[in-house]
Structure 1
């Protein structure tokens, strides 16, 4: 009998750390109601070493000797993953032999599906060797080969865990914001930055990895002229399916937007932060109004769900009730790691979790490649 235990690992666009869960997972096909057979048994997180985080961020843009640097960074990331796996095993009391597979996404450093490629730094063979557990990785490329965006990856999981309900949506507030509309068919798409620009701006001006609880943004005021420039980004007007990342929404992009303002009217850093928060809120609200207008309830997750200033602004801007995935039994910081445990399960059971209605691919496909223990 196959083991029902899977591990999911996620280091997202925010590049702040690794989140991991060890889960019991039942049938891979999405049921019509929330599925409590998908249960978290243990969870663990580990901050990325400062030098590794800096290197991963640097590798988002071309640089000297980047192929060798990327390979070394991938190895170091796999070593961090292995430490999280060991913590999960200790916490759960299970052994490596009890786990059927690890789902490990890796760190996205390039994402250009329109050009036919996406690149996640990862060393899944090294992770399998370190843990003696099979690893499923490379989740995006099969869908991209079929003409899809390769993203978002998690809407099929959202439907499996939170149910098919045309009036419900799941909003992931990671580095990038993405929305899953839980109708039939399930649809999902990126809406634009969530925390990514706010984090980068806080790092530049505060020397902090993020704006804790949105307190800095709360001290500022939205700069309407800057917001208008930000909202004029052509990508925002594209219809779903669509996805994005640091390739577009970088500090260089923000600096170029700021440069469009007359020097006498440029906002101070605090007002820029407030404007970036409003930009996140408006792009989410506009995308939901355009793509999922019948939404009655939104379940928020990801690091942004812990930002009370952002959540209050979203409460005022979004239709219906803004809730949390924690209200449905999944902590907001564990949703994506749990999704990759589920995607590993979907892979080994042959369930096609990349959905054409989400990614725009020519057909559904099984996500990932398996690296045996």
Structure 2
């Protein structure tokens, strides 16, 4: 059997919204020893979840309890099998044999993120992503690196965001202060000053609340191009109650997820009788305001914001973010040759490369960890 291409990796992620499995076939320009490699997205695709499985993952991710240990064990395998199948489809479409791929980097599906341990005694922080790397490696026949976040949390960090180092590699400019804005279920930013340390943190909900509210009231899984929000009007009093959430004023490092920003959180702040479209418009404004406020507070000299993630396809959301900070240019990472839909999947291919090379995957200036750490566990090819 031929040796794998030293620079060919697959990255897999299902984010906070759990709206599909993003898969990226990526080629790096070296065997995994350079700190800042060139990388090329050869193919990116999104594969849907089976409906019942997605519904259950979303329930768990937004604070629901597992019915049993047996259910959690089964879900761990089901997620892994779905990730392995996404890899198979991606490689079939690309015309690449599994034996050619050096490794898969798999994020898995987050079902609970408690980096401060606050739900219980506050002394046992953890983060948990389903998707057993053993199963992915066995089904795909490709070495798999998984479980990237928990080592950073063990080292006192938040385990998130993990992609600012790659953002810096691909999108930094010595001529201006930039920020990379990822609009997934949760919004997070990477601060890229022209000179100085890279930083990054979550800013709050991007799409997760809008998606959940849209599904409840329209039956659609997301608000395509902000059309539902466009039917409503901003409820300023509701927005004020939402913004009163103490998490928003916490200083970085910080991270969050569906377990905090979910429909029960929203419901507790409604007075009753609000028009569904008005609530959707207000949730969109919440996302825009919290992004702009966080950027203004942490890097006020930002001159260019480069957006990626599913929210880039919501023109109304981008318009409202731009309106919050009109002196700053907001544009897609596509303008700089980086596909906004697959930045995160590319990032987990990069993290797998870092792990195999024995290189750190985290930035302590971002996550708050005690130092750089090699992340993830390696599962050998079948």
Q: TM-score, normalised by structure 1?
A: 0.94
| Alignment of 1:117 onto 2:126 | yes
Q: What's the RMSD between the two structures over aligned residues?
A: 1.5
Aligned pairs for 1:110-259 within 5 A: 110-115=112-117, 116-163=125-172, 165=174, 167-183=177-193, 184-258=196-270
Cα distance in 1 for partners of 2:43, 2:237 equals 47
* 2:100 paired residue among 79, 98, 101: 98
Do the aligned residues in 1 keep the contact of 2:203 with 2:248 (CA within 8 Å)? yes
| Alignment of 1:50 onto 2:62 | no
1:64: Cα distance to partner? 5.3
1:338 aligns with: 346
The farther-off stretch of 61-70 and 169-178 is 61-70
The farther-off stretch of 177-186 and 310-319 is 310-319
1:66: Cα distance to partner? 3.4
Do the aligned residues in 2 keep the contact of 1:9 with 1:21 (CA within 8 Å)? yes
1:89: Cα distance to partner? 1.5
Cα distance in 1 for partners of 2:223, 2:274 equals 18
1:10 aligns with: 13
Q: Which runs of 5+ in 1 are unaligned?
A: none
2:88 aligns with: 86
Cα distance in 1 for partners of 2:170, 2:357 equals 17
Local SS of the residue matching 2:197 = coil
Cα distance in 2 for partners of 1:255, 1:89 equals 43
2:336 aligns with: 328
Local SS of the residue matching 2:180 = strand
Do the aligned residues in 1 keep the contact of 2:80 with 2:130 (CA within 8 Å)? no
Local SS of the residue matching 1:69 = helix
* 1:357 paired residue among 359, 365, 370: 365
Q: TM-score, normalised by structure 2?
A: 0.92
Do the aligned residues in 1 keep the contact of 2:17 with 2:58 (CA within 8 Å)? no
1:52: Cα distance to partner? 0.5
Do the aligned residues in 2 keep the contact of 1:55 with 1:73 (CA within 8 Å)? no
Cα distance in 1 for partners of 2:129, 2:225 equals 29
Q: Which runs of 5+ in 2 are unaligned?
A: 118-124
Local SS of the residue matching 1:276 = helix
Cα distance in 2 for partners of 1:216, 1:65 equals 34
Do the aligned residues in 2 keep the contact of 1:46 with 1:80 (CA within 8 Å)? no
1:313 aligns with: 320
Aligned residue-pair number: 364
Local SS of the residue matching 1:257 = coil
| Alignment of 1:74 onto 2:76 | yes
The farther-off stretch of 71-80 and 303-312 is 71-80
Do the aligned residues in 2 keep the contact of 1:100 with 1:134 (CA within 8 Å)? yes
Cα distance in 1 for partners of 2:70, 2:184 equals 28
| Alignment of 1:26 onto 2:29 | yes
Cα distance in 2 for partners of 1:246, 1:68 equals 23
1:358: Cα distance to partner? 0.1
Cα distance in 2 for partners of 1:160, 1:345 equals 14
